[in-house]
Every structure is written in structure tokens, then in C-alpha cells.
Chains A and B, each alone.
Chain A
């Protein structure tokens, strides 16, 4: 009798654990596939019929120490915040050849919002720091590709603060101070 109860209890425990695992799997947001596709997606112009604007995005200059501005068609959105989301999302994607991205692969936009002081907050997934190659030059390019793409295309935005995974951050890779919003920096932009 005792033995039979033990076996039954054992089976019940295994079933509960399996059920819990299945539920937690089902509830987990499907981040991994979206991430993988975002990392591999090349920025393509909006399809015909979709209203679009021409935005300026920033990629690595040929010297590896500057940013080049590149004109790129992106989806037109109604209002500063939705348009800001389109701009940053486009900036995160892999550029068309021969341009080279300065954003770590797999970085996704979590949120974009604007304060009434005209500061934009760009909240990025942790890949922007965990996959960053490091070095103050590479870090500078990453930070100002984001700051410049937002301020160059949205005239009402004066400054940009980068958040990582919803949190204020010290730096992306140990050098550039992210504790306060940053203004546009044109000194690292080189005309191609």
C-alpha cells in the first residue's frame, strides 16, 4: 500500500514539473526568434505604396574613426515618437553594402519616448553592451550613431539619453558617459 502511494506520488511530482515547464515555455515571450531575425535583417527600403521619408542614418567611416551620413528611405510614421521608433529601428539594422554598422549585432529597440524638455530616451536590449567590441573609438561611434540619427531627423529633439534594458547606464563599454542626455556631435561626421 505505502509503496503504491509512493509510486503515485512520484508520478504526480513528475507530471507537475512537466506541466510547469510547459506553461513557463508557453508564457515566455518569443524573444529568441525575433532577435535572430533582427540581427540578420538588412535594412531595405519600404515597399512601393508605403508612405516613406528620407532619413539620414550613420555608419562607420572608412577610417574606422568617424561616422558617414547615409540617406535612406524609411517608413513614414505619424508623430515624433512613432517616427523616432522607425528611425532608431532602421539605424539598428544591418546597412546595405558597402556600409558597416557600428551597432552590436542583435541589438533591439525596447522603447523610445520623449520628455517635454525635448529629450529622447532610446531604450536598447542588453546586446548593445554585452556584444560591444569595446574601445573608446568603437564606443563613441555606437553612441553617436544613435544620438545623431535621432537629432538629425527629428528637429524637435535636442538631446538623447541611451538606456540599457530599461535602466540608466554608466557606459556601453567603459568609456563614454551615458548618465546624462547627450547633444548631437557633428565633429565625428565625415562626408563620404
Chain B
């Protein structure tokens, strides 16, 4: 495995409960439960370290989530959420990546990262890449698209997919994440059937297994890219 670390980001937390189902199921509770299930599965069967951006019920800011991910030097970042729609019949999983235009800083151009030479021991210099916090995701958009595609294919064999399963949206959590990253909306809590489903062991295991297989497949892809 070229990846020794994977970051799983359980959406919402603390006073931010996320969305709520008709029967009262809270998004923040299910995202944490599934994140913990993913952590157990990946660590026991792949030997990777899984970093959770929160491991209990508390609020974590978007910048903190990105900082935890970036400091862990992980191979991929996956944010877990549950969805809501004005139509109670809306159902299924969606994989969302960052919309390209969002990294223009709202000014119509993508700002370039720069590198600087810093003095190193022995009178030499070393080059350090400076990555702009606001646009760190820019250099990973192709890899994030590949990650989204892999995850969608893995989910498709195990859970119901939404009528629009792949989306690119201006998501708040992604721009500062300096690695391939996507958001997974697992199911609709506004759908009574799916609200019941997401609490079941079998559903949570299916999601965890889809993520497991995505990590295996995506890291093989990354290894291939690196060896070329």
C-alpha cells in the first residue's frame, strides 16, 4: 500500500447536528458511527492508519478538518454526510467533488503555488513548496475525480445510488485539503426508508466495505501513476 494514512471526516458534530430524519435520527451521529466502522475495518484488514477529524460528538471547524488532514500527510480524504431533499422520495448515494471554478478565489483565475529556497544545514539550500491554503485542492482535482469515480463504482454494487450520483459542487470543506478528496452523501435522511436503513449493521458494513475497496483500488492507481 503506498498510502499509510487515510483521513475520514465525519460530517457535522456538537451543536451542528446536520440534517435530521422524520424519526429524529441525527446526521452527526450516523456519520461518526460509520466513520468508526470504516476505521476499524481499514486498520484491521489493510494495516493503514485511519485519522478521524473527530472521534466524538463535538464541533470541528472546516479549517480544523483540513488542518488535521494536511498534517497527517494522508493519501486521501473522505468526508461522510447524510442528505436531505424537499421530496421525501429522493434516495440514494452521491459522490461529490469540488467544482473547478471554486478554486479561482472568486476572481476568475487560479492562483499559482510557489516554491522558495530555504537555507539548509551545510550551507546548501532546499526547495520548499508553498501551497496556498485556500486553493490547496487545485493540484489534486484530477486525482479527486479519479477517487470519485472509483468510489462511485464501488458503491454502485452495494447500495442504492441517487438519480444524480456524481456531482461537482462548491463545497466548503474541500478547497484547503491538500490531497485527493471527495464528499460522500451516503443516503437521504429525509427518506423514511433510508433513515431506517442507515442505522442497520448491514448497511453500515456495506458502506465501510465500499470505502475499503475504494482505498485498495485507488492506492493501486496512485502507485501506478508514481511508477510511471
Give chain A's interface residues, CB within 8 Å of chain B: 60, 62-65, 100, 102, 133-138, 140-141, 159, 170-171, 173-183
Contact = CB atoms under 8 A, between A and B. Distances in A.
Given A64-B89, A136-B185, 6 more contacts: A63-B90, A64-B90, A134-B84, A135-B82, A137-B83, A138-B85
B105 A180 contact: yes
A138 B84 contact: yes
Which 7 residue pairs spanning A and B have beta carbons closest together? A64-B87, A135-B84, A180-B106, A134-B19, A64-B85, A64-B90, A177-B172
Interface stretch (B123-131, B139-147, B162-170, B214-222): B162-170
Interface in B151-200: 162-164, 169-173, 175, 183, 185, 188-190
Nearest to A182: B170
A134 B20 contact: yes
A135 B163 contact: no
Given A180-B105, A180-B106, A133 B84 contact: yes
Contacts of B49: none
B172 A64 contact: no
Interface string B54-95: 000000001000000000000000000111111111100010
A176 B86 contact: no
B190 A136 contact: no
A135 B96 contact: no
Interface of B: 11-12, 16-20, 27, 62, 81-90, 94, 96, 101-102, 105-106, 162-164, 169-173, 175, 183, 185, 188-190
A176 B188 contact: no
A87 B32 CA distance: 41
A136 B86 contact: no
B101 A170 contact: no
A65 B85 contact: yes
A133 B88 CA distance: 12
A140 B19 CA distance: 14
A62 B170 CA distance: 23
Contact of A137 (B16, B17, B90): B90
Nearest to A161: B106
Contacts of B96: 136
Nearest to B26: A134
A137 B172 contact: no
Nearest to A66: B164
